[in-house]
Every structure is written in C-alpha cells, then in structure tokens.
Chains A and B, each alone.
Chain A
C-alpha cells in the first residue's frame, strides 16, 4: 500500500518537484533497484551466457535513461506485477539510508571471470560523467559560449540531483563547476560594457537561465563552495569518497567484534561491523540470518542511544528482508519485528534528543553521530512510518492466506490490537516534532501516512470495537502523552458519548488527510469517512458527503484499489438507507454492485474463479475476511427493497416489462426464472425467500410474504434486526394495499375502507392516506367517500379511450411536438434556404393564382 502512494505521489507532483524532493529520490531509486533485480533475474534464467554483456549494457544505459525509467515506472504502476520485494527494499533503504551497491559486487565478479575487461562501479562511472561535463563547461566558459554551457549545465544538474542514490556527499566537481560559473558570470558582467558585443536572443536567454540557476544552487551548498575557494586542490582530491570505501568481510568483522579493546576501538569495531552489513544488504549469497544474529549481538553491546538506534533500524529492515520472497511473514517473526519497533520507540522516547526521520540528511559516515540541529535534536535517517506500514501490510498478507474460519485466523487477528497500539505510539512520536502547520511538508507526510493507516484500521469497525481498541492502546501509553490530532480517550463513556468519540476520531483523522495536496489521501479519507458514517446509521450525513465529494464522476478513472474503497462505501451507504427504511435509495445504491456478476471483485473480497492467473497486484487489492461486507446480506437487502418497489409497479402497468426499461431488470429476471421452474421446491436461501414473497405479494397476500421474509436468518446480522423486520412488515402492508388497488381497480366500483383496513391491518387513516396519494398522482381514478367510508372508483367507459383513439391522441401529441420544435428553430433564426429568384416566381404565381 505504501507503494501505491508513492506512485500516485509521483504522478501528481509536477516535473520541477522531481529535483527538489529528497523523498522522491528515495522512491525512484527504489523502483529502479527492484526493476533491475527483476530484470537481472530474468536474464539469468533465460540466457546465462550473455549475462555479463547484458547487465553491463544495462548499467551503461542507466544513467542516461534513469529519468525515463522512473517516469515510465510511475505510469504503468498497477499493471506490472512487481513482487513484494519492493516494500522491503524501500524500508531497507530508508532504514539504513544506504543504497545497496549491487553493481559493485557484480563488477568484481565480472572482473574475476574475464580478467581483462575494466569495469567501473556505477558510482565511479557517475563521478566520471560529472567530471567530463564539468570539464566541458569549464572549456566553454573560457569562451563564454552560453548556449553550450546551458545545455551542459542542465545535464549536470540532472545528474547531480541523483547523488544521494550513490550515497556520497555532493560531488566536488559539481561544486567546482558552480564556483567556475560564478566567476565567469562575474567576469562577464564586469567586461560587458567594454566588450559591447551583443548577444543574440538564444544566447541571452540561456545566460539568464544560467545566472538564475547558479545563484539558486550556490545557495544550497555554501559550505562546500567556501571550502573550495579556500583550497581547490585539497577539496577536489576527496571527491566521491564515501563511507563504505573499506570492505571488510562479515566474518572478519564478527571476529573483530569479539575481540574487545579500548572504548574507542570498540566503537570503531562496532560501526565497522554495521557497515559491513550495510554493504552487503540486498546482495545475493548473503546469509541474512547470520547478519541478523550479528546485529542482535551488536545491539546487546551497543552503548549510546545513537548506536542502539542505528542497529535497530538496520535489524528491523533485515527482518523484513528475510521474508521478502515468501508469501507472508510468519507470525513469530512479525512479532519480533513489532517488538523491535516498540523497542526503537522506547529508546527514542527515553532519549528525546534523537529524532528518526526520513527527511534527515544522509550522513557521510554512519560512525559519526550527526550534529544536533538548531532545535538541539539529532536527526537520524530512517522511517518508522514505513516500518509500521510494512507491519500492517504483512499482517494483512498473512490473514489473506489463512482460512478465515479457523482459530488460527482469530489468533492472528488478535495481534492487530498490539499493532494498533504501536500505530498510535508512532503517531504520537511524529506529532512530537511535526506540528499541524507542517503537514504539507515532506516531513509531515510521514505523520500523514501513519494517520492513514490508523484510519484504515478503524473505519470499518463498529463503535464498540473502536472504543475497545482505543482504550487498550491508550492504556499502554504513558499518561502524560496526548495527541493534538485527537485527544486521548479517558474511559468508557456510555453508548451515546462513545459514538461521539468515534465520530470525532474519524472526523479529525480525516480532516488531517483532507489538508493534503495529494488527492489520493483525500479521496481515501473521504471514502473511509463515508463508510464509517454509513455504518453508524448516519445516512444523510454520509450521503451528503458522498454527493459533495463529486467522486462518482471521476471514480471510473481511478485506480482499482480506490474503486474498491468507493464500492464499499457505496454499498455500506445502501445498507444504511435500507436500515432507515429508505427503499428507493437503497435499491439505487445497491443495484450496481449487487447485480454485477463480479461482486466479489468489486468489493475486493475475492477473485473470480475462472481467473486462473492471479497477479501480485490483484492480490494486493484483496481485503482480509474480517473487513468483508456480507454479500448475502447485500443481496437480500437489495432484493427486498426491489420487491417493495417493483411488485406494485407490476400490478400497476400491464405492460410493465416493456415500460420500465430503466428499472433494474435483475429482479424481474430472477422472478421470471423462478416462474419458469417446473418443480418449485421450498425456499432454501435468502433469495428464494424473497422471490416467493414477491409472488405472494403479487397475489396481495402480504401475510405469507411477511412470514417468508421474516424467516430469512440473515437479518440477524443487522444490529437492530427486530426494528428492521418491523419496518419491513409495515412497508409490506402498504405495498400490499397498493398492489391490491392496482390489481382490482378495473373490476371494483366501490370498496370499503374499513374492510381494507382489516385486510391489511392498517389504520383507516393510513389506508386513506395511501389511497389519497394514488388518487392525487392520477394513478387511480377514484374518490374517497367519507360518508359511506368507501373508495368510489370512477369507471367511466367514455373517458377510457380504445386502441385507435389512443393512437390518434398519441399522433396529435407528436405533431404538436414537431410544431413546437419548428417554432423554436424559426425563433432561433434558422431560415429556409431557397433560391430566391425561383421562390419569388413561385410565390408570385401562387399569389396570382389566389387572386
């Protein structure tokens, strides 16, 4: 799911964001690696002999194609199955802040295999490229060829923006280039008046661009520039030096770690071991379990909070790595990961100086603790938000593989509550340094992601359950902590207040998400919001919200996952309308999903049987069983609502089948199907019951219909099932009465109201009201006689036209329509185009003729 966001995030942000946002870089780099991996694996299996060449070529191209690659990645998100390793890598990168340098190892291997071929690492290549560009720019700047400098400088900036991927400091060559350009610009300006050489348009344009850019980018690295100015040679010499230049083997590092020495040595050994693991992350043929146990050893020897944090960040990431290839993370492992996250939170909470955030600057050397920033906080690169997101996803994957009716499923589901506590803790942790005004910044995005996860684990639950988990979670959290998003729950408040609390909770979680510029957050939030309101029987509020969101018009273009959210909200709204007794609304809302042959797919509750191949993406859309909406209940509600609407209509119009084109055919089709059955067995499922009830209501026998409907077991799934049953019955009576009137209007002249009231067990005034409505709407030609307390039907033969007369009436109606249209046309200025000459003759002829 985080992947979904990253993709949409990329999609929505405009191109110029691409350079500036660090976060994005993390994402893009991430996608590439996973892509690369896949590609390589494929190649390996298919054509092993060509491997070297292929991969080499591939690497050669990356730098120039990177831009393209990442963008195309975004575009076909959702179509290309990509495997779960994606998540792992992301969290891994975020956790350690270190890019896995696969290529390096590869090139080493190649070197061994071929001997002669000189292969550079990706980083070296990258630096060389920059150096080349800088050389060119330097040359051009001697002659002040602004156009050429402009194009080169563009390329350079594009390249340089990727330096964090290679985990190096700002390339020194680039700094040098900036310095040179600044110098050149100054020179140019100083001599401009003397030289008097006019620049042509394109030249002056690129000059301006360069000037602005140089100014902008110089501001970003004033320190480096100063260092360069102080001593250019010394500065350039260290270009590309990165923290991981030494590559001690894992075994060596372990040995080293076992041999204690002085404190300083110990620290050095400690971080060397850490680096070693960092280095080998994501490579093949590495025993991750061994790494993990090394890390755990290290953790026990870690002294300072910074060391502990660094080790834990890496350890959690590796835990996720372990199960990247399997379908789900075993429960035991998951719990360990959760415990680690909690431990991490404990450490951070105990040492408030340290802040783990995605937006921190990647350090040159992890062994050196970063300097505290202006607020006295030490920022460490890492993303706890991604960890909890990952934990949420993993538990979902596991639940999906389990049989929902087994005890195992329930046991696993219990872990959700501890996860919820952790979610809350993480939210509180982020709230500490992210204020309400920061929510739109990249830093705030972490908090927003956590809040979305919290919303997602809350919105589908009934109030009781939410209160329960809220209470448990708050209990586990230190009493002094509180949230500015939504305050702590003090205790069980009684049903009314509880509902208020949960409403408030969902409201405030959503309102944070509504403020996001990324519309994916907003849409998801509003759909969860609607779902929750509908679930709590606040139909009108939910409906208004759905209408105001204007999502209906655009939802068909949204990605499948959002469509599932939409369908779920829609269906829940329909059920809510049904519970309120608003049958027309319920029918309309439920119709589309219920009558579809792909119900399960639409609601994300399963896939069609004939779909043999199930891609990863399809699987990701599925929801675990405890979030499902009962399909039978849906169907039952829909058909019952249809029954109450359609049966009187069938009685009203003889040509119902032809007439009601727009009405849902599903109900009629099912009904007809049953009528055709030779052998009509007793009702078995809910639908059978409804259909039989429809048939008896058609015969105006509302009592049998009511009995049949009451027999349906599934109503008990509604909270207030008795009330709902009651309202169904009273509605049945009314519709039975209407059906009766429609059926018999042709044969009766008078009908006693008291007997009607007896027959349908309605009060006389209700009977009158129902009939009055029919009369008023001209459905029935009758009058209610108060004196004799009867309904008098006016049967006049004369006012009923026979077939021919009806046709004539229709014809005259159509004619008058045509005339009206013609009138409109002539008013609108349309004229008959005639040859005026000819027309004039003709006209004068007729005039003459008339004379």
Chain B
C-alpha cells in the first residue's frame, strides 16, 4: 500500500525560487485541511509538502502524523530515517507485538463469519431485507450482533493498519448486515476513505453520494452544527474524488502494458472528459445553497478549488455566483485565485494581473489537488478568461500589454492570438482589434423577440386542448 502512495505522487521535478517558495508556503492549505481529513488522507498532502519545505521537516511531520496508527513497519522506517544510526526503541517491538496479537485474535473471530458469508448457500439465501437476513444468519449460522460488530472492529483495525482493500471489504460486509444507523454511518466514512486511498474512484463516488444523502436528508439526526461539520468533512473528502479521478488504478496498469499510442490517447481524452464532468458536478454541488453556505461559514479556502474547477471546465455561466461568493468572503480569505477573480470582476484593477498569474502558476504546481490537473490547459483557460474580460473594457490593447497581463513572452501571446484569428485581428499600429457584434437594430430586436410567439401559443393551446380531450 505504501508503494501505491508513492506511485500516486509521481513527482515532477521543478525548481522554485526562494520568493516562490515563500509564496507557496504562504498559501499552502495543508494545515487547514488537517482538521477535516482522516490521518491517512492527510499523508499524501504532507508528502506533497516536500516540494516546498525541508524534506527532513516533512519526514518528521509524517512520523508525527502516523505514529499512532498501526502501520508499524512504515513508522519504523520513518523513525530510522529521522534518527539515522540509532537503534529502534523497544516500544516499537512491543507495539508491533500487540498489534500482531490483536490482528490474530480479530482474524480468528471474524474468519468463520466471513466464511459463512461467502459460502454459496448463504449468498443465495440473503435478501434485501436486513432484518430477515439477520434472523436467518443468527438462526442458521449463529452469527449474532456481536459477531457482526466484530466485522466493524476488524475493518477499522485493518484500515488503521493500512490494509485498505481488506478494510473496505469488511466494512461493506458489516454495512450489509448491521442495522445500527450510527455505526453504519461511520462505516461508510471509513469505506470512503479506504476507497479514496486505494484509488477506486467509482466506489468512492458511490460512498460519497451515500454520505451526502444521509447528511443532507431533511430528518438528519444530529444538531445543525454537527451537520455543518459533517458537510465540511465531506467537502474536503470529495476534493480527492473530484480532482483525482483521472488517475485510476486501472489506468496505472494500462500504462504498463505498452499498448498502442492511439488507444492511450483516446483513453486520455476519455478520462479528461470524465474529469471535466466530475469537476462540473463538483461546481454544481458546491454552489448549491447549503454547500455554498457551508463553505462560507467554515472553509472559505475551498473557493480556490471552485475557481480552479471553473477555469478547468470553462463553465462561465456559474461565474457570477463564484464572483459573489469571493466578494463576500474577501474579508476572511484571500489567495491568488480569489484575488484574480476579485481584480477581474470586482475591482477591475488589471495592473497587478501579472503578479497574480505568477503566483497562481506556482500554486498550480505545488497544490496537491491542482497539480493533478493539466496545468497548461488551466493557464490557457485563465488567459482566455482574462482576455475576454479585458477586451470588453479596453480597446487599443497591444501585444505588449497582453504579455504583461499574461506574464508570458511575446511568442506565446502571438500564438494565443493566432489561435483566435477569426475573432481577433491586429491592426497596423499594433493594437488588437476584437470583432464585436454590433448591436442589432431595434427592428431586428423586436423581430427576434416576437418571432416565436405564434408557434409557442399554438403549442400551448394544443397541449391544453389535447389534455381536455381525455
């Protein structure tokens, strides 16, 4: 499982200047995320900090983070890495023994249950009805509530040990049998985390939707504040799903088999589409009123990911909502992304754009979630957004102006303009002319507005009469 994590990182080498490092540290969100994620999920975030922080320091954090888990082997490695040339303290061995013992005992106690559950006969007899299942199992096979609860315990233990696939399996079994709402709820959380770590995004998505259903349901059991907290957790968990789902476990396999280029290309395109779909569903979710107010109330930094998702998917019709949210939260949270939105759509001060873009490009590389996206495309979309906004207000822009705004070299800008040849032309004096639609005449407008009237009216009449024919 550890190798899996490493693999997931796929570090790209890039150099950062000191100021950039400082910037990246300043806008790093890991310490905010720590409060809303499970230990195991925080690990990749901290690992990601290696780019911006002293590796030694990061290793120490990793050790601190995981020392209470049962992943003894891993923790030992970390400890040895931190204290080179020293003997392992005895506690480690003790702990390992203890864990081993617990593992054996739990394994024994659940083994029979699992065997029974997986047997042909039982599989056939199980039905949708939980209470029936329980009765059936307890009568025929002696599996009572305590046995079922052991499944939960074992699942939790395995998760803690880092055996996520097993954990997810156990928790799933538990959920199928148990009627305890509360434990089911926390089992679902556990399963979600396990699926995320093992990159089973589809399953993770299912779990996520299940949790959402429970938390958003009208008759939610807990208090309002509890609901708010749970929602905040869910938002943070979901970022893994929404931002990472391009990188599936199967994906990793397929890259190993040297298949034809074309197919890979097609795969890539598919996953891209898939991800865009994911991101746009994320935008829809986060902008729904209850989630937006959760973000505003307890975790305004999520706005960054909303903006990124918006840029990635180019769903500019939701821009207005995001601009409003950013504007409202300015007093509480600011980072280069929100500043970009703010200066483009709230204050209209375009002079500092180049700084912001520079900062953003650093963040795109260093932020754990954003670095999973296609950085180039993101930058390009951003430039397009800026271009569209600016040309609405300015005329007589020169290529140099654009260079400054985009924080790019001239050829890049020229290429950018070249791609938009049909809308943009460069005048003789070097200014860029955007072809705008001249507003139509009044007659045209009236015609446009009224031309569908007749048809629509007839349609309404038809439906109305047809219905009354019944």
List residues of A whose CB falls within 8 A of some B CB: 540, 765-766, 768-770, 772-773, 775-776, 783-788, 792, 796, 798-799, 801, 805, 808-809, 812-813, 815-816, 819, 822-823, 826, 829-834, 836, 839, 843
Contact = CB atoms under 8 A, between A and B. Distances in A.
B456 interface: yes
Contacts of B435: none
B14 interface: no
Contacts of B350: 768-769, 772
B450 A815 contact: yes
A813 B449 CA distance: 7
A833 B392 contact: no
Contact of A765 (B332, B349, B442, B460): B349
Interface in B434-470: 439, 441-442, 445-446, 449-450, 453, 456-457, 460, 463-465, 467-469
Contacts of B332: 540
A784 B395 contact: yes
Nearest to A790: B396
Given A775-B393, A809-B445, A822 B460 contact: yes
Contacts of B345: 776
B347 interface: yes
A776 B456 contact: no
Contacts of A831: 464, 467-468
A834 B468 contact: yes
Contacts of A809: 442, 445-446, 449
Nearest 7 pairs between A and B by C-beta? Answer: A787-B396, A772-B348, A812-B449, A785-B396, A772-B393, A805-B442, A783-B395
B339 to A, nearest CB: 14
A785 B464 contact: no
- With a 10 A CB-CB cut-off, give which of A766, A785, A786, A832 has the most chain B CB atoms: A786
B393 A836 contact: no
Interface residues of B, number: 36
B401 interface: yes
Interface string B197-210: 00000000000000
A799 B442 CA distance: 7
Contacts of A799: 439
B306 to A, nearest CB: 21
Given A540-B331, A831-B467, A832-B468, A823 B398 contact: no
A830 B461 CA distance: 12
B456 A784 contact: no
B394 A783 contact: yes
A834 B468 CA distance: 8
B449 A784 contact: no
Given A786-B394, A831-B468, A834-B468, 13 more contacts: A772-B350, A776-B393, A783-B395, A784-B393, A785-B394, A785-B395, A786-B398, A787-B395, A798-B441, A808-B446, A819-B460, A822-B460, A839-B465
B293 to A, nearest CB: 11
B149 to A, nearest CB: 34
B398 A787 contact: yes
A652 B358 CA distance: 38
Contacts of B393: 772, 775-776, 783-784
Contacts of B467: 829, 831
Contacts of B397: 786
Interface in B314-349: 331-332, 345, 347-349
Given A784-B394, A786-B396, A816-B449, A823 B349 contact: no
Contacts of B460: 819, 822-823, 826
A846 to B, nearest CB: 11
Contacts, number: 96
B331 A833 contact: no
Contacts of A808: 442, 446
Interface in B387-403: 389, 392-398, 401
15 contacts: A768-B348, A772-B350, A776-B389, A776-B392, A776-B393, A786-B397, A798-B441, A808-B446, A809-B442, A809-B445, A815-B453, A816-B449, A823-B460, A826-B460, A830-B464
B267 to A, nearest CB: 41
Given A540-B331, A772-B348, A776-B348, A786 B468 contact: no
A830 B460 CA distance: 11
Q: For chain B, what secondary structure do more than half of its interface residues adopt (helix, strand, loop), or is it mixed?
A: helix
A826 B464 contact: yes
A809 B341 CA distance: 35
A843 B397 CA distance: 64
Given A769-B347, A832-B465, A812 B446 contact: yes
A775 to B, nearest CB: 5
Contacts of B265: none
Interface string B334-371: 00000000000101111100000000000000000000
B10 to A, nearest CB: 41
Contacts of A770: 348
Nearest to B389: A776
A807 to B, nearest CB: 11
A537 to B, nearest CB: 13
B431 interface: yes
A816 B456 CA distance: 10
Given A812-B446, A826-B460, A839 B468 contact: yes
Nearest to B401: A786
A381 B142 CA distance: 65
A768 B445 CA distance: 32
A147 to B, nearest CB: 43
Nearest to B431: A787
A787 B397 CA distance: 7
B465 A812 contact: no
A826 B461 CA distance: 9
A590 to B, nearest CB: 20
B18 interface: no
B429 interface: yes
A792 B395 CA distance: 9
A826 B457 CA distance: 11
A832 B429 contact: no
B463 to A, nearest CB: 5
A769 B390 CA distance: 11
B450 A836 contact: no
Interface in B77-116: none
A836 B401 contact: no
Nearest to B347: A769
A826 B441 contact: no
A33 B351 CA distance: 77
A816 B395 contact: no
Nearest to B469: A836
Nearest to A782: B393
A808 B464 CA distance: 29
Given A783-B395, A787-B429, A823-B460, A765 B351 contact: yes
B348 A769 contact: yes
A823 B456 contact: yes
A321 to B, nearest CB: 48
B463 A826 contact: yes
A361 B351 CA distance: 77
Contacts of A822: 457, 460
B445 to A, nearest CB: 6
A766 B465 CA distance: 61
B443 to A, nearest CB: 8
Contacts of A785: 394-396
A773 B349 CA distance: 9
A792 B431 CA distance: 15
Nearest to B436: A783
A798 B439 CA distance: 9
Contacts of B389: 776
Contacts of A812: 446, 449-450
Contacts of B469: 836
Contacts of B429: 787
A785 B432 CA distance: 11
Contacts of A832: 464-465, 468
A822 B457 CA distance: 9
A843 B442 CA distance: 39
Contact of B396 (A788, A829, A833, A843): A788
